[in-house]
Amino acid sequence: MRTWNRGWHRRGDWAPARMVALCGVLARIPSSRIRPSLSLALVVSAPAAPAPPDVRAGCYPLYILDMANAVASSSRDRPARNRGSMHSLHDPTDGVVITNEVQYRSRSESVKHDTIRIINQYEFRLRVGKGQHGEVYLAEDSTKNYMEVAVKCVRRKNKTDRLKKLRRNADLPRTPHTPLVDQLGSTEHKIRKEIAIMKKLNHPHVVRLLEVIDDPLTDKIYMVMEYLGGGEIKWRTKSDNPLLRVDQTRRICRDVILGLEYLHYQGIIHRDIKPANLLWTADRRTVKISDFGVSTFSYAQRLAAAGNGNIKDDDTDPILMDESDLSKTAGTPMFLAPEIVYDASEEDVIGSSQTSPHSSSTLQLQTQLQTPRQRPQVTKAIDIWAFGVTLYGLLFGILPFNAKTEYEIYRVIRTQDWSVPETMGLDQLPTGGRYPGGIGRRPADYRSLPNTEGAQVMDLLSRLLEKNAEKRITLDEVKRHPWITRDLHSPEDWLRETRLTRYLQLEPTHAETDSAMSSVRFRWLPRIGNRIMSTLRNVKPQRSFRRPPRQHDDEKDDVGVHSEPHIVHLTRHQTTTGNPSHRRPHHGSVREKGKGRRPSRQELLRNKSTNDINAKPGKPFEPWAMWNNGATPGPSKRKSTETGLQAQARSRLRSGSIRPATRPPTANVLVRG
Ligand SMILES: Nc1ncnc2c1ncn2[C@@H]1O[C@H](COP(=O)(O)OP(=O)(O)OP(=O)(O)O)[C@@H](O)[C@H]1O
């Protein structure tokens, strides 16, 4: 094996015939023996080899895995049982583990006589959600002290894919120019795009992808994510009244703004911001943006946000480069921005005099709404609109634009103004009416706004729900808006501590990824590992998207800079509380397995989010205190904010009924699906 490696490396060329011959040889070697060293060597020692047209999630480890799979899957009859050790790789660019081998097992539970499904190291507990494309399960990672994770199981192909394939001429030859959607089928393309997007993301207010289990021999792809135990944000009662207090809504908004700001910096337009895609952590202190199923990567936006020198190589991933999706109507109708549902046949200046059934009689709105003459560009501003619709929903328990049919909703979004009820939030604060500064007027300077909650939030809403995308408020302005910073002791501190650059400093350096890779991949093959790493370094030149020189950091910025992302998030929150006793010393790169200490569950729960920046020492922040004060449903109703299944999962986990005291590996049955 070593001789081959040396030979390829020295010659530097790559004859296809040699490749075919080699594949034939490799196919006869048990797959467990050829991974991962050979597959890696195949790629890195063949720099001239063109990337195959069906590069999937784009980053080279997947490409590598595809090559390995091409070889491995040629021996389709290999028994699953003989596969040997799991084949997992860390993607050095983002730390997400890519596993291209699935082992299905099951175990009967001694207590309830349930059968536990096990996929690789993940023990499946309960289904916590079901989306359009797949199901999401609560699972536990047996290799990480039974840490809870969410596993999204998605079928590669669905019925519509098959129908589409039948309609197309399936025998047309593939060329490098064949669109990826045609090569992969639209469902698989969507999953791979979602994965490629999620792999780029690492932020405290964005759900983190931990592992992708993608075995070409199975029809499902598994996305292992951090588990958000608090479930979706519940925002309205059955009778369409708000469920959240106004200050709770503001805290949620602050988290979402920070998450969105990061997404946009990464060039990602989420396209489906709505309460159902905002998930609470188990302690309900932090909200994270989830569901990137219809998200799009915009290279132009990434360039504009990050600057040329800061673009990573994986930003040119072919699956991400397809921006044609942007013009398509995707997302949830009531949250769509006017520029998405633009209709050129409509008059461009529309006089509307609509009043919603919820508006007060003093608010007979007469307004001239201008829609642009030309089809406006679809940009990240659509997320800001959707955020505005979300804010409206959280405040009032209803949505600003509604109608009976989808077509009618789009017309309302394009042409009509919105109105407001007299009160907002569960605490029924007065709104003061839709136009605090007079009908149609919006002060240029926030300081001229009346200093009331109602006047400020109306101003923010009217800037978010601005029909002309070019005039819509930017996220940076939203962050500084007086309603967003209203209850902060020091808005300047908050703005400084939540600066985007602070998260970007957490990007792993080459040294960290190198050590992470060598500890995971090449512990048993150091020489090959070193050679591969040095080749990779040449292939992926060092970029400037790294920590800026330390002398420019102020003291607060220093906190958490070297920590592993999950810990750093907490450190950032600890910093925001200003409580130095919570600060965690640096442990160096936690990516180096076994080094540094992982935080205990108690520590994780103790940490606070930006939400509670005002929490006073000794008085723990409790965003859900309202549930206990008698005016609102009692503690048991607290569970109403969880999905039924999540509540069920929680109580079963608490009672211990779904986790035996010991975990004997009884009756491991391989049930390949
Ligand atoms: N990381 C997570 N932690 C906890 N629950 C989750 C997580 N991710 C998703 N869920 C739950 O599963 C549900 C479905 O997940 P998701 O929205 O990602 O699936 P989907 O197929 O993309 O759905 P959609 O139809 O909205 O596109 C969510 O509404 C949420 O309740």
User: What CATH number is given to the structural domain containing 142?
Assistant: 3.30.200.20
424-457 as b/e, with b when 16 or more CB fall inside 10 Å? bbbbebebbbbbbeeeeeeeeeeeebeeebbbbb
Q: Is 114 within the bounds of a domain?
A: yes
Single residue among 463, 479, 506 that ends a domain in this structure: 506
Give the pLDDT confidence score for residue 133 in this predicted structure.
Answer: 77
**Domain-embedded: residue 3:** no
Amino acid letter at 205? H
Question: Range of 457's domain?
Answer: 228-306+319-343+376-436+450-506
Q: By alpha-carbon position, which residue is closest to atom 18 of ligand 1?
A: 291
Q: Which helix (H) or strand (E) holds 576?
A: helix 565-577
Catalytic residue among 91, 94, 255, 272: 272
Distance from the alpha carbon of residue 203 to the mean position of ligand 1, in angstroms = 18
- Ranking 15-24, 170-179, 323-332, 656-665 by mean pLDDT, the lowest is 656-665
Report whether pLDDT(419) > 70: yes
Q: Is residue 36 part of a domain?
A: no
- Asked which of 88-92, 175-179, 275-279, 397-401 is least confident by mean pLDDT, the reply is 175-179
- Same domain membership, residue 260 and residue 133: no
* Domain shared by 200 and 277, yes or no: no
Show which of 227, 247, 281 is a domain's final residue.
227
Instruction: Taking residues 572-581, report their average pLDDT.
Output: 30
Tell me, yes or no, whether 281 and 212 share the same domain. no
Residue, of 433 and 602, whose pLDDT is higher: 433
CATH number for the domain harbouring residue 425: 1.10.510.10
For residue 523, the model assigns a pLDDT of 35
Q: How does residue 3 score in pLDDT terms, banded at 50, 70 and 90?
A: very low
Q: pLDDT tens digits, residue range 508-559?
A: 444 444 444 333 333 334 445 455 555 544 443 333 333 333 333 332 232 2
Q: Are 168 and 182 in contact (CB under 8 A)?
A: yes
- Of 466, 491, 506, the last residue of a domain is 506
Region 327-350 average pLDDT? 75
214 lies in the same domain as 252: no
Task: Note if the bond before 53 is cis, omega within 30 degrees.
Answer: no
Of 154, 291, 334, which is best to mutate to test ligand 1, by the most ligand atoms within 8 angstroms of its C-beta?
Answer: 291
Q: DSSP letters of 386-446?
A: HHHHHHHHHHHSS-SS--SSHHHHHHHHHH------SEETTTTEE---S-TTSTT---SSG
**In this structure, are 276 and 233 located in the same domain?**
yes
Question: Terminus-to-terminus CA distance in the chain, angstroms?
Answer: 33
pLDDT level of residue 285 (50, 70, 90 thresholds): very high
Q: What's the pLDDT at 108?
A: 84
Query: Within a domain: residue 96?
Result: yes
- As for how many domains the chain has, the answer is 2
**Mean pLDDT over all residues of the chain?**
66
Q: Which of 99-103, 129-133, 181-185, 481-485 has the weakest average pLDDT?
A: 181-185
Highest mean pLDDT: which range of 58-72, 155-169, 360-374: 155-169
Considering only residues 56 and 377, tell me which one the structure prediction assigns the higher pLDDT: 377
Whether residue 498 lies inside any domain: the answer is yes
Are residue 484 and residue 337 in the same domain, yes or no?
Answer: yes
> How many A from CA of 274 to the centre of ligand 1?
12
Question: Residues 217-234: what's their mean pLDDT?
Answer: 95
> Could you read off the pLDDT of 122-165 as tens digits, one per residue?
999 999 998 877 899 999 999 999 999 999 999 987 766 656 55
Beta-carbon contacts of 59 under 8 Å, excluding residues fewer than 6 positions away, are 91, 93, 94, 196, 199, 314, 317
Residues 155 and 241 placed together within one structural domain of the fold: no
β-pairing, 88-90 vs 287-289, is unpaired
- 213 and 233, same domain (yes or no): no
Nearest to 294 by CA among 316, 265, 274: 274
Interface pTM (ipTM) of the complex? 0.97
153 assigned to some structural domain: yes
What tokens were used for 505?
């400093």
From 371-385, 492-506, 600-614, 659-673, the region with the lowest mean pLDDT: 659-673
Length of the chain as a residue count? 673
Can you tell me the mean pLDDT for 420-446? 82
Which helix H or strand E contains 503, and what residues bound it?
helix 500-504
Listed ranges 14-23, 491-500, 631-640; the one with the highest mean pLDDT = 491-500
Q: Give the percent of the chain with pLDDT over 90.
A: 37
Is any ligand 1 atom within 6 A of the Cβ of residue 279?
yes
627 lines ligand 1 (CB under 6 A): no
- Sign for the pseudo-dihedral over CA of 312, 86, 291, 195: positive
Q: Does 246 share its domain with 338?
A: yes
> How far does residue 133's CA lie from ligand 1's centre (Å)?
10
H/E element holding 189? Answer: helix 186-199
Is there a single domain that holds both residue 160 and residue 238?
no
**Amino acid 123: pLDDT:** 95
Q: Which amino acid is at 85?
A: S
In the three-class reduction of DSSP (H, G, I as helix; E, B as strand; rest coil), residue 315 is classed as helix
Per-residue confidence (pLDDT) for residue 45, from 0 to 100: 34
Segment among 106-120, 194-208, 588-602 with least mean pLDDT: 588-602
Whether residues 117 and 193 share a domain: the answer is: yes
Which range, 202-211, 501-510, 569-578, is most confident? 202-211
Give the mean model confidence (pLDDT) for residues 322-349.
74
Answer whether residue 223 is part of any domain. yes
Mark whether 205 and 278 lie in a shared domain: no
Q: Is the CB of 331 under 6 A from ligand 1?
A: no
- Residue 332 in any domain: the answer is yes
